[in-house]
């Protein structure tokens, strides 16, 4: 999205916490969201598509992540059925997420975002080039992080109690400005909190009513591990990725990204970070833009705001790196010139940058 958030100048000096969208503080500084222990009096959901142990023990296939393992079966109407999640891919995606080499949304599916994250991790860890899921990759990920990849979490009243807003519909931002930018359902909120798709969340917990507190669900065991200080950022438009480096030139984070389009190109060359705006309002001003139509409007802050939960302002007017209301589309669609990440990836990056950090578009 190519537009500076409203009141940005008032926010640039605010220190951005890792969970800028207002998630609960991590429990003991380890699992994101403060996972509650499961007591015997709490309701346990019926088993889902995979059990905890099936995911923990699954071994990814020793082939390029871009390769398809099995053809999608045909549905009764003769059309290809949706590819089912792979427990080994869930495990791999969680490990990549915890390493800061983000696969984007954890959905248990092979895809381009996962392939690129694997290739970036292999290069950074001197495991060779390419995207092969081999023994060296698995050993490196497992050695770096031996904790379980799945855990149980008990839904709290705060998880299920709202407030909620209608799903954004169409391009009329005045409607969203009036209706709000909160999550549309408790299931959407919980899925984003644990970096996963709503489909996978439901498949792992098929009997759960996500509007009900006190139910134990199976979710990724995320780890709140902040980045070291970022010394420079590279935005790779061809690869649709954002890469963060430390002062020694080491690649410390990789994020899939949505970057520009044919009609609304992203910048080229060198810019710098100007500042960070957590939970920004979004100002749509058609007089300053080359896209869209309608009246000037301010869309309030919220996770489903057009620029998501955080904005990293860049030194070219109206351009930034920011979050998104639809994490499942990252790397799969175009933006209006800016650089869009999942909210959680944008928050992690924003917490590790300072004004003056160089940002190179290649």
Strands (E), the chain: 43-44, 150-154, 215-220, 232-236, 241-245, 251-256, 258-259, 269-278, 282-284, 297-299, 310-314, 320-322, 339-340, 358-361
Domains by residue range for the chain, with CATH: 8-21+226-361 (2.40.440.10), 34-61+85-223 (no CATH)
pLDDT in tens, the chain (362 residues): 444 454 443 344 332 222 222 222 333 333 333 344 444 346 666 678 899 999 999 987 755 555 444 444 454 555 555 789 999 999 999 999 999 999 999 999 999 999 999 999 999 999 998 999 998 998 999 898 889 999 999 999 999 988 999 987 666 788 888 999 999 999 999 999 999 999 999 999 999 999 999 999 999 999 988 999 999 999 999 999 999 999 999 999 999 999 965 445 567 889 999 999 999 999 887 776 555 556 788 999 999 999 999 999 999 988 999 999 999 999 876 555 689 999 999 999 999 999 999 999 99
Pairing between β-strand 269-278 and β-strand 282-284 as defined by DSSP bridges: unpaired
Q: And the tokens for 163?
A: 């407030």
Closest to 362 (Cα-Cα) out of 237, 250, 260, 196: 237
Q: For position 5, what pLDDT does the model report?
A: 54
Q: Is 283 helix (H, G, I), strand (E, B) or coil?
A: strand
Buried b (16+ CB within 10 A) or exposed e, 25-34: ebeeeebbbb
Looking at residue 42, its pLDDT comes to 62
- Judge whether 127 and 354 are in contact, CB under 8 Å: no
* CA–CA distances in Å: residue 135 to residues 53, 63, 96, 128: 20, 10, 15, 12
Residue-level pLDDT at 131: 92
Q: Check: pTM over 0.75? Answer yes or no.
A: yes
CA distance 339 to 237: 9
| pLDDT for position 95 | 96
CB 121 within 8 A of CB 97: no
Residue 178 DSSP class: H
């Amino acid at each position: 999205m190519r537009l500076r958030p409203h009141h940005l100048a008032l926010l640039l000096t605010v220190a951005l916490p890792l969970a800028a969208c207002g998630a609960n503080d991590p429990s003991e500084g380890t699992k994101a969201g403060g996972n509650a222990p499961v007591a015997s009096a709490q309701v346990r959901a019926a088993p889902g598509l995979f059990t905890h142990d099936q995911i923990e023990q699954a071994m990814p296939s020793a082939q390029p992540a871009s390769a398809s393992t099995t053809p999608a079966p045909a549905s009764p109407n003769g059309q290809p059925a949706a590819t089912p999640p792979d427990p080994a891919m869930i495990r791999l995606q969680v490990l990549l997420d915890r390493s800061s080499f983000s696969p984007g949304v954890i959905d248990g599916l092979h895809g381009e975002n996962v392939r690129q994250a694997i290739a970036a991790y292999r290069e950074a860890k001197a495991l060779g080039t390419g995207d092969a899921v081999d023994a060296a990759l698995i050993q490196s990920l497992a050695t770096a992080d031996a904790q379980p990849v799945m855990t149980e979490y008990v839904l709290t009243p705060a998880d299920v109690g709202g407030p909620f807003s209608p799903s954004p519909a169409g391009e009329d931002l005045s409607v969203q400005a009036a209706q709000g930018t909160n999550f549309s359902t408790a299931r959407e909120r919980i899925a984003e909190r644990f970096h996963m798709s709503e489909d996978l969340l439901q498949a792992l917990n098929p009997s759960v009513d996500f509007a009900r507190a006190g139910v134990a669900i199976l979710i990724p065991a995320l780890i709140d591990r902040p980045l070291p200080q970022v010394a420079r950022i590279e935005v790779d438009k061809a690869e649709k990725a954002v890469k963060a480096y430390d002062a020694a030139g080491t690649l410390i984070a990789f994020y899939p990204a949505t970057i520009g389009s044919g009609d609304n190109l992203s910048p080229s060359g060198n810019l710098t970070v100007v500042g960070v705006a957590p939970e920004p309002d979004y100002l749509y001003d058609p007089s300053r833009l080359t896209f869209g139509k309608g009246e000037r409007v301010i869309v309030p802050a919220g996770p489903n705001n057009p620029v998501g939960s955080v904005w990293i302002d860049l030194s070219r007017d109206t351009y930034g790196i920011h979050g998104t209301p639809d994490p499942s589309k990252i790397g799969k669609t175009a933006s209006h010139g800016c650089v869009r990440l999942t909210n959680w990836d944008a928050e992690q990056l924003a917490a590790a940058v300072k004004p003056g950090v160089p940002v190179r578009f290649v």
